[in-house]
């Protein structure tokens, strides 16, 4: 069965993206390495002068029988060795030799590594249209900056989740783009709310919707397949692009249960089970080519790698390549040679093993965190929403139950502030939800969408189980629970 | 003697740069690692899950007695080894352990590496004001993109050299910035021409001047100290910022001589001689803090490192840090740990040895190229301008001497095109100078500055001696010389 081609969405390009030209110099590069032509066109230093003969890395070996955090042993390790000289590398490894990775060029990312990434992408998302590709980025923060530069122009408005990653919002705001919040509940953005917003939109419709749909930052929510399909249909109806920023996609977990025994039976065992257990991405339902997926190794391998990739239709990604040529050029060759070296030696199956190991670790961390919340937080004022993905959990608190609620002018934010400070006093820091709240000012202003009255006194705090050892996590949550109790006189 | 402080130049910031806010989350980070506080604020993965115990690199050892391109031997090599676990690294090496370099954070660049870079900067430039600093970048292309975003807003005009690096111009044009060309001669921008442009400027004066002053791309020219001082005074008088994009700064050479014997005596021998032989940078004369210097390892170590740095006054660079936080974050940890490992083991002196070696190599390459030009090009129509810095040389050609000049409508560009194609036919590609020509359209238009009539029929071709082995270089130039002769019927 042949797949459909992507729709032409070039009308969504920004003034900046539309105006990018190909350099005439690029035209000359067709003569580079052409037999019979001495090419004196480009200012590339000779690789003879790169002071690196070989780089190497000591890594764990798949399938990580003792867990992904286990100590590497002499007998069980994968050594990545990449030489400058192509001839010294074993062709079976598909390495990116240093003469290539440390040279200029390959804005799209090195072929070997990008082929690995594309194969992985295809395994997970089974993209339903033909002409998709993936290009390298410096990680999702940079990818998102590139999306804004490619699609929006100062004065435009975009759609975002009601609570969102402050840094992503700041990227947009500094570019003069206003962010319009779409109402969320415990399962992320509500399609009906999004539909209402768009039906009542004043002025040119927003070009894109930015969403962290799996293990959302800050709410920890995960949008269900059903909601994703409904939202994708809205994207088709109202012709907008979906940017899915998905660093936490592979930190999906088993659903939380307080039953220790039940937990044992819940792990995924095979690659097939693992892939099947993942919530379908917007990319996987993208028949039009209107989804840009931002992926990276920041949460699966290491954030400081500064390596990520953008998946989308070829015609739109070509504009990103033009942008990257005149800004970041490409991710570091040290990162590309090393990561590619690791991926090639692990293979597709080994990387899935690693991700399965990650799933087990995060499921356990999440369980410890949620157990602690149930044990130490006053459930008469707190609601625990066990996440099924990501690094974050939230505790919702009914501010109206605060003994001084009236004195505080019935302002939930004052209660939030008091709890934050009380937490610090007791020795634990969690982030107030209001810090992530998106203000909805756009030009022109949009009609007021009715507010959910039942939740107007609900505040929340965001915590993470990712960054601290488990005993610290338990101790910290106990302290924060005591702080909440003290604040509410419980 | 205490140095002066930088002038307040914040009025030059762009709309985008002025509007960047600190995230409230950053405020919470003061509690990170604070004793007594369990910090559940940030989504940082545990370094236990970074699948790299150690990275290493095989490198040449200073002082590179057999030249920088010599084969590394078993007995004479520097091995960089950097562990994830800080405790496993020898503190004497000042390594950036992988638990740190592969984690989030350190937008300014890692302290150990940036301290090395700053010390190196101070040795070379002896910056005359107090509150300067350096922050990491992904290389000069990205640094320049960041400069534009920090200082200019759509519709602004900036000053550039009459011929300039097409990619740098494209970065500006796509951001809606017009580039006004300042007249050059064989020694780069002419201060008197710049002065005239600014005295006659219509509308708000340009905020910045972008210059590749050493080994200019494409002309290969190097601006003298005297001219730099004159231009710096113009920057003070007309209150603009100088962005010196200096990838080729350390590819400075001895002046060209056709006398083989004289060449032998010309090499620099000590670190002091080397530093003294470098043309003073704008940074070295910057008493106001109005210079931003873009430096990188792309031409001295390897371009694919994607590591560079921006030097300038602290108050302006703070705005760059805010931009980097929401775009690139920082250079790859693989690059930072490896480069820092190498620099720490070589030491400041070792890096100077490397740069001295580089100087010798490029001097030799330049000599071979210029010798070939004199041997094979028709000097009755060609002028050779031996460069003293960089990777590029140009050959000027008097188009009016072309036998069909009248037939071609006295259009030098038609002669240029004919020579380019004839070059390809003969088997050598050099880049036509007009491809680098800056068009001077600004809004509002600026008054016409008189054109130098004596050169209006001069065209030029850019070549490089950097990218090809010496025998190819000689053969290529012989072919191009024959093509020029054929074209001119000589």
Averaged pLDDT, A209-221:
96
What are φ and ψ of residue B342, in 5° steps? -65, -50
Same structural domain, B326 and B398: no
Residues 6+ apart with CB under 8 A from A135: A107, A108, A109, A114, A309, A310, A317, A320, A321, A324
Say how far apart CA B282 and CA B228 lie, in whole Å. Answer: 7
Residues 6+ apart with CB under 8 A from B224: B187, B188, B279
Same structural domain, A27 and A121: yes
pLDDT at site A247: 96
Residues 58-77 of B with CB under 8 A from A: 58-60, 68-69, 72, 77
- Chain B positions touching A167 (Cβ under 8 A) are 23, 25, 325-326
Residues 6+ apart with CB under 8 A from B221: B184, B185, B186, B187, B188, B385, B387
Query: To 10 degrees, what angle do helices A333-376 and A111-125 make?
Result: 40
Say how far apart CA B298 and CA B339 lie, in whole Å. Answer: 12
Q: Do B50 and A302 touch (CB under 8 A)?
A: yes
- Chain B positions touching A174 (Cβ under 8 A) are 16-17, 19-21, 323, 326
CATH classification at residue A398: 3.90.1150.10
Q: Do B333 and A306 touch (CB under 8 A)?
A: yes
Residue B16 lies inside a defined structural domain of this protein? yes
Say how far apart CA B116 and CA B143 lie, in whole Å. Answer: 19
What are the average pLDDT values for consecutive 10-residue runs of chain B, which has 490 residues? 93 95 79 91 93 98 94 93 98 98 95 98 98 98 98 95 94 94 94 96 96 96 97 98 98 92 83 96 98 98 98 98 96 98 98 96 96 98 96 97 96 97 97 92 82 86 95 97 97
Same structural domain, A411 and A465: yes
Q: Do B45 and A476 touch (CB under 8 A)?
A: no
Q: Do A55 and B338 touch (CB under 8 A)?
A: yes
Residue A446 lies inside a defined structural domain of this protein? yes
Helices (H) and strands (E) in chain B, counts: 14, 17
* A19 close to B (CB below 8 A): yes
Q: Do A301 and B138 touch (CB under 8 A)?
A: no
pLDDT per residue as tens digits for the range A263-305: 887 778 799 999 999 999 999 999 999 999 999 999 999 999 9
pLDDT at site A406: 97
Distance from CA of B7 to the nearest CA of A (A): 25
CA-nearest of B337, B343, B232, B331 to B289 is B232
Same structural domain, A25 and A122: yes
pLDDT at site A130: 97
CA-nearest of A385, A435, A386, A418 to A489 is A418
At residue A240's C-alpha, the angle toward residues A239 and A244, to 5°, is: 145
**Which among B38, B167, B298 has the least Cβ separation from residue A475?**
B38
Same structural domain, B306 and B437: no
Using CA atoms, how far residue B383 sits from B380, B416, B486, in Å, is 8, 15, 17
Residues 209-248 of A with CB under 8 A from B: 217
Domain count, chain A: 2
Q: Which domain holds residue B215?
A: 10-27+107-246+281-331
Beta-strand relationship, A392-398 and B431-432: unpaired
Using CA atoms, how far residue B482 sits from A339, B405, B472, B490, in Å, is 47, 19, 15, 9
Residue A364 lies inside a defined structural domain of this protein? no
Burial B35-70 (b: 16+ CB within 10 A, else e): eebbbbbbbbbebebbbbbbbbbbbbbbebeeebbe
What confidence category does residue A26 fall into, taking pLDDT thresholds of 50, 70 and 90? confident
When scoring A145, A326, A337 by the number of chain B Cβ atoms within 10 A, the one with the most, hence best to mutate, is A326
Same structural domain, B292 and B191: yes
SS (H, E, C) chain A: CCCCCCCCCHHHCCHHHHHCCCCHHHHHHHHCCCCCCEECCCCCCCHHHCCCCEEEEEEECCCCCCCCCCCCCCCCEEEEEEECCHHHCCHHHCCCCHHHHCCCCCCCCCHHHHHHHHHHHHHHHCCCCCCEEEEEECCHHHHHHHHHHHHCCCCCEEEEECECCHHHHHHHHHCCCEEEEECEECCEECHHHHHHHHHCCCCCCCCEEEECCECCCCCCCECCHHHHHHHHHHHHHCCCEEEEECCCCCCECCCCCCCHHHHHCCCCCCHHHHHHHCCCCCHHHCCCCCEEEEEECCCCCCHHHCCEEEEEEHHHHHHHHHHHHCCCCCCCHHHHHHHHHHHHHHHHHHHHHHHHHHHHHHHHHHHHHHHHHHHHCCCCCEEEECCCECCEEEEEEEHHHCCCCCCCCCCHHHHHHHHHHHHHHHCEECEEHHHHECCCCCCCCCCCCCCCHHHCCEEEEEEECCCCCHHHHHHHHHHHHHHHHHHHCC
**Which among A37, A58, A176 has the least Cβ separation from residue B53?**
A58
CA-nearest of B56, B58, B54, B57 to B74 is B58
Element (H, E) at B172: helix B166-174
A22 has pLDDT over 80: no
Say how far apart CA A12 and CA A10 lie, in whole Å. Answer: 5
pLDDT at site B260: 87
What percent of chain A has a predicted confidence (pLDDT) above 70? 100
Q: Do B142 and A55 touch (CB under 8 A)?
A: no
Residues 166-205 of A with CB under 8 A from B: 166-168, 170-171, 173-176
CA-nearest of A172, A194, A174, A167 to A183 is A194
CATH classification at residue A314: 3.40.640.10
A413 has pLDDT over 80: yes
pLDDT at site B452: 75
- Chain B positions touching A327 (Cβ under 8 A) are 141-142, 145, 171
When scoring A15, A18, A40 by the number of chain B Cβ atoms within 10 A, the one with the most, hence best to mutate, is A40
Tokens at B325, concatenated: 């936080």
Same structural domain, B156 and B285: yes
Single out the residue in B331, B366, B396 at which a domain terminates.
B331
What confidence category does residue A228 fall into, taking pLDDT thresholds of 50, 70 and 90? very high
Nearest C-alpha in B relative to A337: B334
Residue B472 lies inside a defined structural domain of this protein? yes
Say how far apart CA A161 and CA A88 lie, in whole Å. Answer: 50
Q: Establish, for the pair of chains A and B, how many residue pairs have beta carbons separated by less than 8 Å.
A: 355
Residue B4 lies inside a defined structural domain of this protein? no
Beta-strand relationship, A428-429 and B38-39: parallel
If you ran DSSP here, which 8-state letter would residue B89 be given?
S
Distance from CA of B346 to the nearest CA of A (A): 11
When scoring A18, A34, A174, A304 by the number of chain B Cβ atoms within 10 A, the one with the most, hence best to mutate, is A304
Nearest C-alpha in B relative to A52: B59
| Cβ A200 vs Cβ A175: under 8 Å | no
Distance from CA of A240 to the nearest CA of B (A): 23
Same structural domain, B319 and B448: no
- Chain B positions touching A39 (Cβ under 8 A) are 429, 467-468, 476
When scoring B38, B105, B179, B476 by the number of chain A Cβ atoms within 10 A, the one with the most, hence best to mutate, is B38
Same structural domain, B318 and B413: no
How many residues make up chain A in this entry? 490
* A417 close to B (CB below 8 A): no
pLDDT per residue as tens digits for the range A126-163: 999 999 999 999 999 999 999 999 999 999 999 999 99
When scoring B33, B37, B40 by the number of chain A Cβ atoms within 10 A, the one with the most, hence best to mutate, is B40
Distance from CA of B215 to the nearest CA of A (A): 11
pLDDT per residue as tens digits for the range A77-96: 999 999 999 999 999 999 99
Q: Do B301 and A435 touch (CB under 8 A)?
A: no
How many residues make up chain B in this entry? 490
Averaged pLDDT, A471-479:
97
Asked whether the CA dihedral A133, A138, A144, A146 is positive or negative, the reply is negative
Residues 6+ apart with CB under 8 A from B138: A138, A328, A329, A332, B306, B307, B308, B328, B331
* A97 close to B (CB below 8 A): no
Q: How many CB atoms lie within 10 A of CB B123?
A: 14
Residues 315-344 of B with CB under 8 A from A: 323, 325-336, 338, 342
Residue A190 lies inside a defined structural domain of this protein? yes
Element (H, E) at B461: strand B458-464
DSSP codes of every residue in B127-145: -SSSSEEEEEES-HHHHHH
pLDDT at site B488: 97
Q: Do B304 and A104 touch (CB under 8 A)?
A: yes
Residue B319: burial class (beta carbons within 10 Å; 0-12, 13-18, 19+): buried
Same structural domain, B304 and B411: no
Distance from CA of B377 to the nearest CA of A (A): 16
| Cβ B215 vs Cβ A43: under 8 Å | no
CA-nearest of A275, A315, A1, A297 to A132 is A315
Single out the residue in B313, B331, B349 at which a domain terminates.
B331
When scoring A15, A20, A44, A51 by the number of chain B Cβ atoms within 10 A, the one with the most, hence best to mutate, is A51
Same structural domain, B206 and B287: yes
Residue B197 lies inside a defined structural domain of this protein? yes
DSSP codes of every residue in B316-371: HHHHHHHHHHTTT-SS-HHHHHHHHHHHHHHHHHHHHHHHHHHHHHHHHHHHHHHH
Residue B155: burial class (beta carbons within 10 Å; 0-12, 13-18, 19+): exposed
Single out the residue in A273, A304, A331 at which a domain terminates.
A331
Q: Do B329 and A48 touch (CB under 8 A)?
A: no
Q: Do A56 and B57 touch (CB under 8 A)?
A: yes
Say how far apart CA B155 and CA B143 lie, in whole Å. Answer: 21
**Which among B15, B38, B354 has the least Cβ separation from residue A428?**
B38
Residue A346 lies inside a defined structural domain of this protein? no
- Chain A positions touching B154 (Cβ under 8 A) are 154
Same structural domain, B121 and B17: yes
Residue A439: burial class (beta carbons within 10 Å; 0-12, 13-18, 19+): exposed
Tokens 């700064």, residue? B249
Residues 342-401 of A with CB under 8 A from B: 342, 354, 358, 361, 391-392
pLDDT at site A27: 80
Averaged pLDDT, A116-129:
98
């Amino acid at each position: 069965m042949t797949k459909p081609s992507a729709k032409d969405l070039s009308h969504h390009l920004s003034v900046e993206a539309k105006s990018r030209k190909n350099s005439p110099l690029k035209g000359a590069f067709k003569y580079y390495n052409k037999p019979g032509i001495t090419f004196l066109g480009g200012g590339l230093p000779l690789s003879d002068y790169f002071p690196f003969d070989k780089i190497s890395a000591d890594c764990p070996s798949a399938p990580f029988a003792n867990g992904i955090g286990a100590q590497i042993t002499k007998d069980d390790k994968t050594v990545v060795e990449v030489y400058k000289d192509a001839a010294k590398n074993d062709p079976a490894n598909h390495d990116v030799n240093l003469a290539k990775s440390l040279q200029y060029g390959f804005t799209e990312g090195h072929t070997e590594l990008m082929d690995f990434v594309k194969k992985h992408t295809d395994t997970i998302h089974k993209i339903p249209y033909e002409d998709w590709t993936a290009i390298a980025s410096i990680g999702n923060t940079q990818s998102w900056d590139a999306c804004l530069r490619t699609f929006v122009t100062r004065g435009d408005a975009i759609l975002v989740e009601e609570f969102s990653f402050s840094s992503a919002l700041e990227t947009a705001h500094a570019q003069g783009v206003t962010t319009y919040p779409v109402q969320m509940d415990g399962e992320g953005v509500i399609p009906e709310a999004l539909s209402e917003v768009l039906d009542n939109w004043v002025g040119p419709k927003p070009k894109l919707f930015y969403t962290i749909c799996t293990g959302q930052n800050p709410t920890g929510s995960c949008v269900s397949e059903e909601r994703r399909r409904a939202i994708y249909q809205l994207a088709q109806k109202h012709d907008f692009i979906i940017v899915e920023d998905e660093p936490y996609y592979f930190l999906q977990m088993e659903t939380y249960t307080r039953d220790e025994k039940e937990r044992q039976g819940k792990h995924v065992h095979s690659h097939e089970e693992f892939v099947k257990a993942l919530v379908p991405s917007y990319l996987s339902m993208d028949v039009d080519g209107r989804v840009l997926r931002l992926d990276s190794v920041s949460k699966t391998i290491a954030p400081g790698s500064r390596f990520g990739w953008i998946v989308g239709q070829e015609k739109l990604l070509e504009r990103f390549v033009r942008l990257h040529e005149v800004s970041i050029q490409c991710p570091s060759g040290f990162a590309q040679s090393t990561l590619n070296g690791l991926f090639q030696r692990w293979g597709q199956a080994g990387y899935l093993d690693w991700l399965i190991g990650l799933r087990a670790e995060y499921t356990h961390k999440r369980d410890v965190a949620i157990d602690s919340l149930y044990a130490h937080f006053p459930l008469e004022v707190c609601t625990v929403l066990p996440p099924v993905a990501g690094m974050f959990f939230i505790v919702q608190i009914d501010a109206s139950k605060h003994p001084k609620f009236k004195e505080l002018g019935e302002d939930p934010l004052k209660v939030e502030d008091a709890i934050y400070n009380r937490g610090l006093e007791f020795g634990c820091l969690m982030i107030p939800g209001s810090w992530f709240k998106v203000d909805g000012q756009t030009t022109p202003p949009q009609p007021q969408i009715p507010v959910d009255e039942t939740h107007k006194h609900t505040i929340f705090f965001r915590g993470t189980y990712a960054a601290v050892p488990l005993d610290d996590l338990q101790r910290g949550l106990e302290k924060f629970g005591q702080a909440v109790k003290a604040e509410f006189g419980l």
